[in-house]
Amino acid sequence: MDTLIKIAYLVASTFFIFGIKFLASPKTARRGNLFSAIGMLIAIVVTLFDKHVLTFEWIIIGLIVGSVVGTIMAIKVPMTGMPQMVGLLNGFGGGASMLVALSEYYKIHLGTVKGLSFNTELTITIALSILIGAVTFTGSLIAFGKLQGIVTGKVVKYPGQHPLNLFLLILVVAGSIYFALNPELEWLILTVSGISLVLGVLLVLPIGGADMPVAISLLNSYSGLAAASTGFVLQNEQLIVAGALVGASGIILTNIMCKGMNRSLMNVVLGGWESAGSSGPATTTIKGNVKAVEAEELAMLFDAAENIIIVPGYGMAVAQAQHAVRDLFNILEAKGKNVRFAIHPVAGRMPGHMNVLLAEAQVPYDKLYAMEDINDDFPNTDIAFVIGANDVVNPAARHDKNSPIYGMPILNVDYAKTVVINKRSLNVGYAGIENELFFYPNALMYFGDAKEAVNKLVHELKNL
Amino acid sequence: MDGSLLMLIYVFVLAMFVGFELITKVPPTLHTPLMSGSNAISGITIVGALISAGLEQFTISTILGLIAVIFATINVVGGFLVTDRMLKMFKKK
């Protein structure tokens, strides 16, 4: 039986691998997700035949409760709430890993299962599994809270922050090592669990809203590593393979997000741009005239344009303007314009955030271009229309060595013949710095809430 | 360190390489479904949770196992369903 179970786990792992492979194209992606789900089903079913699984009432209750809650969450969540949803799901995965490791500890500690005993390898992996699982759990809950607006989205800084985190980390590592050698100390592993939970809160709390893509990707990676470390506790290859795949995925995404901001992971984890948070909103330092434009005049400009690139940012998500943007896209296409979207890697609050919102509004995905694929086309573009993005289009990143965002790759919207920026006001972006783009001679400010402003523009275009 | 742990580390390292190879091929437009989908896969911890919740004797391990089953099932079911909901929307012209 054991051999059969192991073979079934191998089959399940193969399904996961093909599931991820099919995610390489939007055409096959849905089938890929189905493959992964089948792999999971196989893994769950064969585990019920494990020789240690003898009672089923708690399993059935757990499966039913979890399925109902999971289904409701998946159906109810609006597309704009997707970053929170992903954050929360990461947390549940991490929490489960921590609980399984603790459960395994008590199994041996209380002698529930005959013939099991502690050895150093096992106790080390238990401690590691608890540490990663706990940090993933509370860290994800804080990330969820920040994205949902329950916890402040600002960069949180307080005196002694880094020394405190370092102290707690040393405490956890030292406690884990001592526990590994003295596994009978129940209070010690519970203390390690407790401090790990606190550490998760403290590590994510300082991370500001616009850095969330990095945090979510990193927690995604942790949730995989937590599963893999639980696999080491249980000596289960299935958990290790699946956990490693997810861990790798999270690491790659984290890396892409960090590159998109030209920052090291350390810099993000330690919290915020250097100028942000402490100094407060920057005062206007750039002098010049800002040209504002109204919907009617803007409609005429769009009507005369040939090539148009729309640049969406987090402001579009906040205003829920994706459907209005789709209407704009449709009317411009109907007028025979070449309309494309340029998506910055860190636009929004998680990797691919803008793409999901625009897909929801039924904008065809082949009109969405990644930064490196479209950035050279801006000089041949009549209108670049920036909706709710700020720092990712700030030309200071290219030339101003004193700017905190210097070196960050940006969308070169200023190279377009005209760049129209929709914003609610002239306020600074997340990085807390002035955007000189607004004062460029080819820049036009189109003030207003993204949804209302774009709707007004569509209305005017229809009236032409 | 005995052979079995070394073998598990072996499996882990090789699986990481497979993961890196596969995921670098996922286009940016699918990064959100990639996250939620891989997130659902990390709910594989459910395998360990089931073994804990299904022990013969009812102990603290069973309680921890039960909560772990609930958490992991939310992760798995919610993750796969929401990913499917997203992927359904991706359409070409």
Looking at the fold, whether A237 and A330 belong to one and the same domain comes out as no
Is the per-residue pLDDT at A440 higher than 60? Answer: yes
Binary contact (A356, B89; C-beta < 8 A): yes
Q: A227 and A357 share a domain? A: no
Please give the pLDDT value at position A190: 96
- Type and span of the H or E element at B12: helix B3-23
Chain A residue with Cα closest to B84: A30
In a domain, A53, yes or no: yes
Question: How many structural domains are present in chain A?
Answer: 3
Q: pLDDT grade, residue A287 (50/70/90)?
A: low
pLDDT, residue A274, reads 45
DSSP at A292: B
Q: Within a domain: residue A366?
A: yes
Q: Report whether pLDDT(A208) > 90.
A: no
The DSSP secondary-structure symbol of A154 reads S
User: What residue spans of A25-117 are helical by DSSP H?
Assistant: 29-47, 57-76, 82-109
Q: Which of A406, A440, A392 is nearest to A420 (CA)?
A: A440
Residue A290 in any domain: the answer is no
pLDDT exceeds cutoff 60 at A408: yes
φ, ψ (nearest 5 deg) of residue A247: -60, -45
Taking CB atoms and an 8 Å cutoff, what residues of chain A touch B84? 30, 33-34
Q: Which H, E and C letters describe A248-270, residue by residue?
A: HHHHHHHHHHHHHHCCCHHHHHH
- Assess whether pLDDT exceeds 50 at residue A279: no
Distance CA A169, CA A172 (A): 5
In a domain, A125, yes or no: yes
Q: Which residues from A are below 8 Å from B1, CB to CB?
A: 121
Nearest CA in chain B to A75: B82
Q: What pLDDT score was predicted for residue A271?
A: 62
Q: How confident is the model at residue A285 (pLDDT cuts 50, 70, 90)?
A: low
Identify the pLDDT of residue A283: 45
Q: Is A352 within 8 Å of B93 when comparing Cβ atoms?
A: no
- A376 classed as catalytic: no
Same domain? For A319 and A262 the reply is: no
Residues of B in contact with A357 (CB under 8 A): none
pLDDT tens-digit series, residues A82-116: 999 999 999 999 999 999 999 999 999 998 887 78
Nearest by Cα to A247 from A216, A220, A212 = A220
Per-residue pLDDT tens over the stretch A308-328: 999 999 999 999 999 999 999
Where residue A276 falls among pLDDT bands split at 50, 70, 90? very low
Q: Which domain holds residue A424?
A: 295-463
Query: Which residue, among B23, B35, B28, has the nearest Cα to B79 in the 3D structure?
Result: B35
Q: Are residues A365 and A457 in the same domain?
A: yes
Same domain, residue pair A117 and A235: yes
Task: Report domain extents, chain B.
Answer: 3-89
Q: Which of B24, B25, B31 to probe the A interface (max A CBs under 10 A)?
A: B31
* Mean model confidence pLDDT for chain B: 94
This complex has an ipTM of 0.96
Q: Which of A23, A70, A230 sits opposite B33 (nearest CB)?
A: A23
* From A391, A400, A414, A449, active-site residue: A391
Q: Which of A9, A14, A21, A33 to mutate to test the interface with B (most CBs of B within 10 A)?
A: A33
Lowest mean pLDDT across A67-76, A265-274, A392-401: A265-274
Q: Which of A268 and A332 is assigned the larger pLDDT?
A: A332
- What is the band of B1 on the pLDDT scale with cuts at 50, 70, 90? low
Q: How many CB atoms lie within 10 A of CB B4?
A: 10
CA distance A264 to A378: 28
Q: Is residue A280 part of a domain?
A: no
Instruction: Give the separation between CA A346 and CA A254, rounded to whole angstroms.
Output: 11
Q: pLDDT, tens digit, for every residue of A115-167?
A: 788 898 899 999 999 999 999 999 999 999 999 989 888 878 888 888 898 99
Q: Considering the domain boundaries, does residue A137 fall inside one?
A: yes
CATH number at residue A304: 3.40.50.1220
| Phi, then psi, of B13 in degrees rounded to 5 | -65, -45
**CB–CB contact B54 A53 (8 Å):** yes
